[in-house]
Chain A
Amino acid sequence: MPIAYAGFPFLSAILLSCVIGLVTILFMPAAQHRRIKMVSAVCSGITLVISIYLFLAYDKSAGGLQFAERIAWVPSLGISYFNAADGFSLPMLLLTGIVFFTAVLTMWELETRVKEFFALVFLLVAGVFGLFMAQDLFFLFVWFDVSLFPMYLLIAVWGSTRKEYAAMKLTLYLLAGSALILPGIIYLVVKSGLSTFDMLALMQPGTFTPFQQKLAFLLFFIGFGILAGVWPLHTWSPVGHVAAPTAVSMIHAGVLMKIGAFGILRVGIYLCPLGWQYWAPLMALLATVGIVYGVFVGLAQTDLKYVIGYSSVSHMGIVGLGLSTLTIDGLNGAVFQMFAHGVMTALFFSSVGYIYDRTHTKAIAELGGLSHSMPRAASFMILAALAGIGVPCLASFWAELMVFIAAFKVYPLYGTLAVCALVVSALFMLRVVQRTCYGPPRSRYAQLPDVSFKLGIPRIILATVIITFGFFPSLMYTMIQTASLPLMGGLPW
């Protein structure tokens, strides 16, 4: 795989601005809420700008790994600080930049323990960025755990609805995942006989026997799959989404679940392609069950955030189905869906969070007629719901389309089931929208303020992204293909 080293360490600059943000906030007086938020907005803005620049500056004709940086870290163990970006990681970096910046702006009204909140968010996001750019298994795992453990405090301190239970459940589930990933990583490093954690060296064909690949892929699939919300290991996710504060829900559903799917792709598929091929039928089955299950359980929910939580399980099932098809279209669709779902679900949580902050309820039955009192808030929510259904001209339409085309070819039955489930999901999303936004206006919500321009900025950004990639899917498609074509071309079968 071609590697282009960077003249300027852009990738480290992203991490550095997270660290600078974190350290600056730690040394600021806790009472200066406004300044802390300003620092957070500036530092997260820098990460967004760099990630946009990288997305545009990537040389698609050259492909491969670009913007690479490499420093030997612990030479005796073969650990190096090795970052690089390719067509799979750049969409994820862009997604993280967008969701991070908009999440910070969404929390502009936070007043309790502001300093710690933003400090923990910076730590979490540093882990996420680091994981998406890491090319060294050691660092990949370190970033994975760094992005998980702030979640406990973020949910348990600032959350709602059974927050302590949700925080504990989430942390233990995700760390159980890492309890499989770490032995998997050690196993591969030891069995390779190369004593290196460098993924480029480990992914050479013939490094691992078929049995080793099957065993390790299973560990990675379950370990990362817990985070990706793979059925039946998803139960932490709706509970966690509901309990988390708005910004954390956005980051969590928008970015953190993608870490799981990305881990399966980056570690599982790249290092153990034979294992991928072997376990693909199981992946497809679990993904389809997840899609159908998420939709039907979502139908029965009365809490707005639970609806989104279960729709996330269903949408991440589409990612899993795409990965399990072993085709270029499936891979493209899966990665595109990771991006599209991330932005869509961030917008969804962001608008529901606004409604919850004003009406103090997430119960669908108690809401209604919101389009009269807060038309802008309602329209953001409707847009997110439409994107979730997969309406054409919105980003997720193209992603789901590609996955379904691939799935119909490889697994006709699963493909049909998934499409049928999506029709049902359209029904339930529209019902939710109808019950909350339309209907007779409720007098107790009549005086509530609508989304102001300032609070609208993050939502407008997210909506713009959804629509832009809906109209110009080739922006994303050509990018992902620079990575998926070489990957599929270099496979051993």
Chain B
Amino acid sequence: MVGWTAFGPELYTCFVLGGVFLVFSLLPANPRRDYVTAMALAAVGLGISIAGLHLTGDLFADTYHVDLFSQIFKIMLALGLLLAIYLCEHLRGIAPRRHAETYLLLTVCTLAMMMMVSAVNLLTLYVALELSSYSLYVLVSFRQPRTGGVRTAVRYFLIGASASAVMLFGLALLYGSCGTLDAATLMTLLPAAMGRPEVITGLTLTLGGIFFKLALFPFHFWAPDVYEGAANPVAAYIATASKVAAIAVLIRLVALGGQNVLLARALAVIAVITMTAGNLTAIVQQDLKRMLAYSSIAQGGYVLIGILSMTPAGYASTTFYALVVLLLKFSCFFVLVKVAAGGRNVAIDDLAGLHSSSPILALLLMMALFALAGIPPTIGFTGKLLLFTAAVQRGYFVLVLIAMFNVVISLYYYLRVIHAAYLRKPPRALPALNLALRDRLLAGVLVTFTVAAGIFPAPLIALAEAAVRVLG
């Protein structure tokens, strides 16, 4: 019985959340009922995940490992689900009769990601990864008008399918040369075997599947189209929860190889290309979601810097940064959803006058963007400091210099958004945005947390360090 308790958060997500919405999707459409139920159930789910923080155990013939590392990421995923559902209040981009299915798929995707962060057998990992990807393909296709949504989903699917193929090939190579896909066994075998070409190729190709999830070069091309083509809350979910899960898996996989210099160099090259390409392309974007997509790509490059240092400090800093990405990207999408009239996409110019129509949203947007650019005293700065310190400890000083110049480039396009929100006059006077009290409260909490966690990061850092200790 102890084993099944360890599976608690997943069981809840699967049977309660999934079951309820499976039933709802068969009943006549009722968006309000769906939204309220989803919020309540997701909030309870977050509570259960938090309660399960200190669970440990092995399940399913040791292919599934529950430890502090996985549980911290599960809390983040449950939080990501709750926040994404929060944005679905009106869900104008998706037809009402599909709302229940939307929640169902969000739930299934979250379940899959929870399994991703706990999977210690690479085949289990692959199955969980595919489950989460397929949920997202369908979610993306829900966007109204359906022709646009389906077109985006097909493009997403094609790139995703090729990334999966690459990953499967990598798994086959690994299995062929090591005779196992069990992470713990691989961890003892791989450091010694990393000199063999088929092993390092196998591990790198396996990482390709995760690169797709995190939108890293060369699998990053889908991100702008999918962000633009998906309904706003779905794009928010992809930018937050999906990234968090990918970061967790990437940490687990890279940790398998010990401290391999060749792999680290390959990752360093990918990091540099990813962040530079992301930042330079973001400069010319006019659509806010496309800009955020390229900024996400660049953030993925920074994440890689922490991972490629391959030290506990590096993994801890990356874990910390996963929370940073989750909260800051959500803040941006929160503003976007509130500003987007009728669930449309938002151009950067559409933010003109936000400062007077809703000061709190403008403040939230400014803080989130400054934090993404790593300006102190915000959580984003602390995250970057940790990442870069870990990298310099391993001697990647030039890489950090390049990353810092990327940060300066990113500031240019973030400032363009702030410029629009604070300085640009709207073409016609906008009515004041009527935000519900809970929206204003949430915005206030996000701003406070962004700054407070930047000033007092010690408890979060301690938690992240404890989490990666179990990686061994």
Please give the residue numbers on chain A whose beta carbons come within 8 Å of chain B beta carbons, in ascending order. 73-77, 138, 141-142, 145-146, 149, 152-153, 156-157, 164, 168, 171-172, 175-176, 179-180, 182-183, 186-187, 189-190
B159 beta carbon closer than 8 Å to chain A: no
Alpha-carbon gap, A145 to B382, bound state (A): 13
- Chain A neighbourhood of B381, CB < 8 A: 142, 145
Given A179-B404, A186-B392, the answer on whether A76 and B465 have CB atoms closer than 8 Å is yes
For the A-B complex with A149-B375, A171-B415, A175-B411 known, give 10 more contacts whose Cβ atoms are closer than 8 Å.
Answer: A74-B457, A76-B461, A76-B462, A138-B385, A145-B376, A153-B422, A179-B404, A179-B405, A186-B385, A190-B392
User: Is A168 a contact partner of B377 (Cβ separation < 8 A)?
Assistant: no
18 contacts between A and B (CB under 8 A): A74-B461, A76-B458, A76-B462, A76-B465, A142-B377, A149-B370, A149-B375, A153-B418, A156-B419, A168-B419, A179-B405, A183-B397, A186-B385, A186-B392, A186-B400, A187-B397, A190-B392, A190-B393
Chain B positions near chain A (C-beta within 8 angstroms): 370, 375-377, 381, 385-386, 388-389, 392-393, 397, 400-401, 404-405, 407-408, 411-412, 415, 418-419, 422-423, 457-458, 461-462, 465
A126 to chain B, nearest CB (A): 11
The answer on a CB contact under 8 Å between A156 and B375 is: no
A176 and B423 form a contact (CB under 8 A): no
- In the complex, are the beta carbons of B411 and A172 less than 8 A apart? yes
Q: Determine the chain A residues whose CB is within 8 A of the CB of B462 once the complex forms.
A: 76
Closest chain A residue to B407 by CB distance?
A179
Please indicate the chain A residues that have their CB under 8 angstroms from the CB of B392 in the complex.
Answer: 183, 186-187, 190
Contact residues in B for A171 (Cβ distance below 8 Å): 411, 415
A186 x B389 contact (CB < 8 A): yes
Q: Is the CB of B376 within 8 A of A172?
A: no
Question: Once the chains bind, are A164 and B423 in contact (CB under 8 Å)?
Answer: yes
Q: Is the CB of B404 within 8 A of A180?
A: yes
Q: B55 to chain A: closest CB distance in Å?
A: 25
Known: A179-B404, A183-B404. A157 touches B376 (CB 8 A): no
B385 interface neighbour in A76, A156, A182, Cβ under 8 Å:
A182
* A74:B458 contact, CB within 8 angstroms: yes
Taking a contact as CB atoms under 8 Å apart, the answer to whether A146 and B415 are in contact is no
A27 to B: closest C-beta gap in Å = 13
Could you tell me the distance between the alpha carbons of A75 and B411 in the complex, rounded to whole angstroms? 30
Q: Is the CB of B397 within 8 A of A141?
A: no
Task: Evaluate contact between A157 and B423: CB separation under 8 angstroms.
Answer: yes
**Contact of B419 with A164 in the complex, beta carbons under 8 Å:** yes
Chain A: minimal CB distance from B400 (Å):
5
Q: Are B412 and A146 in contact (CB under 8 A)?
A: no
| Residues A179 and B408 in contact, CB atoms below 8 Å apart | yes
Q: List residues of chain A with CB within 8 A of the CB of B408.
A: 172, 175-176, 179
State whether A183 touches B375 (Cβ < 8 A): no
Which of A142, A152, A175, A182 has the largest count of B CB atoms less than 10 A from its CB? A182
Inter-chain contact B405/A146, CB cutoff 8 Å: no
When the two chains form their complex, are residues B461 and A77 in contact, meaning their CB atoms are under 8 A apart? yes
A493 CB to closest chain B CB (Å) equals 27
CB-based contact B375/A145 at 8 Å: yes
**Bound-state Cα–Cα, A164 to B412, Å:** 12
Q: Which residues of A contact B377 (CB under 8 A)?
A: 142, 146
Bound-state Cα–Cα, A324 to B377, Å: 33
The 8 nearest A-B residue pairs measured at CB: A179-B404, A142-B376, A74-B458, A186-B392, A190-B392, A145-B376, A183-B400, A176-B408
Residue in chain B with minimal CB distance to A144: B376
What CA separation (Å) do A156 and B404 show in the bound complex?
A: 25
* In the complex, chain B residues whose CB is within 8 Å of the CB of A190: 389, 392-393
Contact residues in B for A142 (Cβ distance below 8 Å):
376-377, 381
With A156-B419, A176-B405, A183-B400: A146-B461 Cβ-Cβ less than 8 Å: no
In the complex, what's the smallest C-beta–C-beta distance from B426 to chain A, in angstroms?
A: 16
CA distance A146 to B451 in the complex (A): 12
Q: Are B423 and A156 in contact (CB under 8 A)?
A: yes
Q: Which residue of B lies closest to A182 (CB)?
A: B404
A180 to B401, CA, bound (A): 7
Closest residue of chain A to B394 (Cβ to Cβ) is A190
Complex Cα–Cα for A190 and B313 (A):
12
Tell me which residues across on chain A come within 8 A of B385, comparing CB atoms. 138, 182, 186
Tell me how far the C-beta of A101 lies from the nearest C-beta in chain B, rounded to whole angstroms: 25
B283 CB to closest chain A CB (Å) equals 12
* Contact residues in B for A168 (Cβ distance below 8 Å): 412, 415, 419
Inter-chain contacts of A164 with B (CB < 8 A)? 419, 423
Residues on B with C-beta less than 8 A from A172 are: 408, 411-412
- CB-based contact A183/B411 at 8 Å: no
Task: From the candidates A74, A180, A183, name the one contacting B388 in the complex (CB within 8 A).
Answer: A183
List the A residue with the shortest CB-CB distance to B386.
Answer: A77
Complex CA gap A76/B386 in Å reads 11
Contact partners of A187 in chain B: CB under 8 A: 392, 397
Given A145-B381, A176-B405, A183-B404, are A189 and B370 neighbors across the interface (CB < 8 Å)? no
CB distance from B208 to the nearest CB of A (A): 30
CB proximity of B379 to chain A, nearest CB, Å: 13
Residues of A within 8 A of B461 (CB): 74, 76-77
Q: How far is the CB of A18 from chain B (nearest CB, A)?
A: 14
Give Cα distance in the complex from A168 to B388, angstroms: 26
Name the distance in Å between B391's Cβ and chain A's nearest Cβ. 9
Question: Which residues does chain A contribute within 8 Å of B415, judged by CB atoms?
Answer: 152, 168, 171
Q: How far is the CB of A487 from chain B (nearest CB, A)?
A: 28
Complex-state Cα separation, A152 to B370, whole angstroms: 12
Q: CA of A168 to CA of B389 in the docked complex: distance in angstroms?
A: 29
Q: How far is the CB of A31 from the nearest CB of chain B, in Å? A: 14
Q: Interface centre among B370, B389, B461, by most A CB within 10 Å?
A: B389
Contacts of A73 in B (CB 8 A): 458
B residues near A138, Cβ cutoff 8 Å: 385
CA A175 to CA B418, docked complex, whole Å = 16
Q: Contacts of A182 on B, CB cut-off 8 Å? A: 385, 388, 404
**Of all chain B residues, which has the CB nearest A152?**
B415
The residue on B at minimum CB distance from A148 is: B375
Q: What is the bound-complex CA distance between A152 and B423, given in angstroms?
A: 11
Nearest Cβ on chain A to B21's Cβ, whole angstroms: 42
Q: For the complex, give the distance between the alpha carbons of A469 and B411 in Å.
A: 42
Cβ–Cβ < 8 Å partners of A189 in chain B: 389
Task: Give the distance in Å from the alpha carbon of A157 to the alpha carbon of B422 in the complex.
Answer: 8
Bound-state CA distance A93–B392 (Å) is 34
Inter-chain CA distance A348–B401, complex, in Å, is: 39
List A contacts of B405 (CB < 8 A). 176, 179
Give the CA-CA distance A234 to B8 in the complex, in Å. Answer: 60
- A189 to B386: give the CA distance in the assembly, Å: 12
Residues on B with C-beta less than 8 A from A186 are: 385, 388-389, 392, 400
Kindly state the separation between the CA atoms of A182 and B404 in the bound complex, as whole angstroms. Answer: 8
Q: How far is A190 from B400 in the complex, measured between Cα atoms in Å? A: 13
Nearest A-chain residue to B366, judged by Cβ? A153
Taking the closest CB of chain B, its distance from the CB of A71, in whole angstroms, is 12
- Expressed in whole angstroms, the Cα–Cα distance for A153 and B405 within the complex equals 22
Interfacial chain A residues near B407, Cβ < 8 Å: 175, 179
A459 → chain B, closest Cβ, in Å? Answer: 31
A73 and B422 CA atoms in complex are apart in Å by 34
- B215 shortest CB reach to chain A, Å: 24
Kindly report which residue of chain A lies nearest to residue B423, judged by CB atoms: A156
Q: In whole angstroms, what is the CA distance A437 to B219 when docked?
A: 66
Provide the residues of chain A in CB contact with B388, threshold 8 Å.
182-183, 186
- Chain A residue at minimum C-beta to C-beta distance from B412: A172
Using Cβ atoms and an 8 Å threshold, which residues of chain B touch A157? 422-423
Task: Kindly state the separation between the CA atoms of A186 and B381 in the bound complex, as whole angstroms.
Answer: 13
Q: From B416, which residue of chain A is reached at the shortest CB distance? A: A168
Which residues of A sit under 8 angstroms from B393, Cβ to Cβ? 190
Taken together as a complex, chains A and B put the C-alpha atoms of A189 and B391 apart, in Å, by 13
- In the complex, the chain A residue whose C-beta lies closest to that of B462 is A76
CA distance A75 to B461 in the complex (A): 11
Q: What residues of A have a CB within 8 angstroms of the CB of B422 in the complex?
A: 153, 156-157
- Chain A residue at minimal CB-CB distance from B465: A76
